[in-house]
Structure 1
Amino acid sequence: MKIAVITPLFSRSTELMQALGNHFSDIKHNADNTLKTKADLIAFLQGVDGAVVGREEIDDEILSACPQLKILSRYGVGLDNLDLEAMKKRGIVLGWSGGTNSNSVAEITLSFMLSLIRNLHIATTLLKNGTWKVNGGSELSGKTIGLFGFGNIAKRVVELLAPFHCTILVYNRTHDEAEAQKYGITYATKERILEEADIISIHLPLTPESKNIFSADAFKAMKKSAFIINTARGGIIDEEALKVALQTGEIAGAALEAFAIEPPQDKELIALPNLICTPHLGGNSKESILAMGYSCIEHLSSFFKH
């Protein structure tokens, strides 16, 4: 069997590549991150039986050009970059386990909450530029947190917030009252969360329904002292509207892990002092990289019985 590792993160991990090599002898990788176009991906996947895919877009055009492909093993948690209907139509199996990087993303979400509300990012930037300004912000303890989405990552965020005794409001498509009682959350409408939350954290998949769900109207409805965090997918926040909200003081600050276009093109946005921005690294702790990688290997080896 011929296996292709599309994602550079997996490709660069000596431990994961060795582990994959224990199951398969014919492996190609993308450690140099040279696959920039759809044509590059199609050429790379020729004659391949199984592939490890990260955030790369895999559509029906690519799948149709790779008739030998039998399984895509997803390195990560989101599935919005894969054409699942096309895979089903062509009999290509999805190897995927949810929650493999949930602790990693939840930890960075908590770090954003603390950095924003305690004014750490702004104070650090000012001091590095020679300005000593003492403003310790507010305490996270006892604040109202609004979570949009309640999957594995959001649940882990709630667990990490337990010592802070926050009020947790959750906007979710489905309501499970047993889970609400277990985690000590309250399901709420979008409107209530926008009005009451001190910090909003996004944990939704990118879908037609969630695209630009946070636009100018949403920011106008939030407290001027409130913060918003997106560690999910770019496109859920209207970045132009966010830029205006941050510039005009409609909200106090934001942290973005994901952007509509990556790397982000709007230099004016990422230069704003009240924005923390990171290059989609939330799920890429050392522990998470290995957990996601071993999950991929397990799906491939189980499928091919290696």
Structure 2
Amino acid sequence: MGVILVTSRSFSDGDVDLVERASRAGHRILRGPAHHDLEELRSLLHGADAWIAGTGEVTEAHLAAAPKLKVIARYGVGTEAVDLDAAGRRGIPVTNTPGANADAVADHAVGLMLSMLRFIPDGDRRVRDGDWAVRRGRELGAATVGIVGFGRIGQGVAKRLSGFGSRILAADPYLPTDLVRANGAEPVELDELFRHADVITLHAPGGQLLVDAGRLAGMRRGTVLVNTARGDLVEEAAIADALRDGILAGFAADTLYGDTAATHSPLLAADLADRVIVTPHLGAQTTQAVDNMGSLSLDDVIAVLKGAEPAHPVTAR
């Protein structure tokens, strides 16, 4: 019997009983903390044959504490928190779950666009305070929407926007222009997208700064910016300044830099509450996405523990 350490909070929390599936395959699920604190994980890692890892860091020190470890399955898409080089040196394959939550995140991104353009959260707050004054919004179908990063999620956003009638721009240096056009968007360079879009939605990988004071200065006034990707893609202080100056009409995000440690983010200032929407990583939290991510990660773990190749390997950058 293999021991599978799971440090994702939502693993097997959907409609599919993945714990039972693991048991049928001859393995036992062992739960660990999602923050990946090494001292709390050390004894669990020591006996683990596989690790289905959440968003916390997976460092060389973690791997050194896991002498039996044969595979790390990242529960999600991003692998920037995993030391892929250290895993490679130890011969431990790393996998992820590409596309498992793409529909869920695309839905959420469009929901944030609508919420910002039509002042939905602010309207709810004001009605509860007895204020029924109307704020005039904008229609999504009348907007030019720029999609930064045109992978599965970005393409899913474009598909949803086609029903609204929006003009869609897409910037992605890794995709051929004919593929971008085939998925309903006009391919443009990143700076051109920022100059011409009314709404900009970020779906690029983390580890890079895409929105800083310089790029904000080149936007048209009244732009709405949405970030359901990674908190480090934006310079939060510059975003706050742009909101106060009217360059940005609104900012909506499913993440902030540092996440739960971001309680002092400049974007949470009281005077910006009517122009900022922040959700606590709800993008991938649908029953369907949870089932998809759990199933893909568990299937790859079971494959490796049987001596087979995983379906979704990730290589070092």
State the TM-score, normalizing by the size of structure 2: 0.89
The within-5 A match list for 1:30-69 is 30=32, 33=33, 37-69=37-69
Equivalents in 2 of 1:261, 1:267: separation in Å?
A: 9
Equivalents in 2 of 1:182, 1:190: separation in Å?
A: 19
Correspondence for 1:6: 7
The match for 2:267 among 266, 269, 275 is 269
Report how far residue 11 of structure 1 moved. Answer: 6.1
Q: Which has the higher contact order (CA 8 A, sep 6+)?
A: 2
Does the aligned pair in 2 maintain the 1:175–1:187 contact within 8 Å? no
Report how far residue 268 of structure 1 moved. Answer: 5.0
Q: What is the Cα-based RMSD across aligned positions, in Å?
A: 1.9
The alignment status of 1:183 with 2:183, answered yes or no, reads: yes
Distance of aligned partners of 1:304 and 1:235 in 2 relative to their CA distance in 1, 3 Å threshold: same
Of 34-43 and 16-25, the range deviating more from structure 2:
34-43
**Unpaired segments of 5 or more residues in structure 2?**
308-317
- Amino acid across the alignment from 2:227: N
- Name the SS for the 2:29 alignment partner: strand
Equivalents in 2 of 1:62, 1:128: separation in Å?
A: 48
- Name the SS for the 1:8 alignment partner: coil
Distance of aligned partners of 1:103 and 1:34 in 2 relative to their CA distance in 1, 3 Å threshold: closer
Does the aligned pair in 2 maintain the 1:101–1:291 contact within 8 Å? yes
- Name the SS for the 1:76 alignment partner: coil
- Name the SS for the 2:285 alignment partner: coil
Give the number of equivalent residue pairs.
Answer: 301
- Amino acid across the alignment from 2:8: T
Does the aligned pair in 2 maintain the 1:75–1:293 contact within 8 Å? yes
Aligned sequence identity (%): 29
The alignment status of 1:242 with 2:243, answered yes or no, reads: no
Correspondence for 1:158: 158
Query: Residues 19-64 of structure 1: CA distance to partner in whole angstroms, max 9, x if unpaired?
Result: 222223432113xx47562322333211211011110110112112
Equivalents in 2 of 1:8, 1:135: separation in Å?
A: 39
Equivalents in 1 of 2:35, 2:253: separation in Å?
A: 26
Does the aligned pair in 2 maintain the 1:3–1:24 contact within 8 Å? no
Query: Residues 64-102 of structure 1: CA distance to partner in whole angstroms, max 9, x if unpaired?
Result: 222211101111111111111111111001132311100
- Amino acid across the alignment from 1:297: L
Correspondence for 1:223: 220
Report how far residue 119 of structure 1 moved. Answer: 2.0
Does the aligned pair in 2 maintain the 1:143–1:167 contact within 8 Å? yes
The within-5 A match list for 1:63-78 is 63-78=63-78
- Amino acid across the alignment from 2:255: A
Equivalents in 2 of 1:131, 1:216: separation in Å?
A: 34
Correspondence for 1:20: 22
Of 47-56 and 184-193, the range deviating more from structure 2:
184-193
Correspondence for 1:29: 31
Correspondence for 2:97: 97
Of 163-172 and 37-46, the range deviating more from structure 2:
37-46
The match for 1:213 among 203, 210, 213 is 210
Equivalents in 1 of 2:292, 2:97: separation in Å?
A: 10
- Name the SS for the 2:233 alignment partner: coil
- Amino acid across the alignment from 2:180: A
The alignment status of 1:174 with 2:177, answered yes or no, reads: no
Equivalents in 2 of 1:27, 1:116: separation in Å?
A: 41
Does the aligned pair in 2 maintain the 1:145–1:167 contact within 8 Å? yes
- Amino acid across the alignment from 2:22: L
The within-5 A match list for 1:131-142 is 131-142=131-142
- Name the SS for the 2:17 alignment partner: helix
Query: Residues 142-187 of structure 1: CA distance to partner in whole angstroms, max 9, x if unpaired?
Result: 3111111111100111111111122211111224133123112122
- Amino acid across the alignment from 2:97: S
Report how far residue 245 of structure 1 moved. Answer: 1.7
Distance of aligned partners of 1:21 and 1:199 in 2 relative to their CA distance in 1, 3 Å threshold: same
Correspondence for 2:115: 115
Does the aligned pair in 2 maintain the 1:104–1:284 contact within 8 Å? yes
The alignment status of 1:252 with 2:249, answered yes or no, reads: yes
State the TM-score, normalizing by the size of structure 1: 0.92
**Unpaired segments of 5 or more residues in structure 1?**
none
- Amino acid across the alignment from 1:178: D
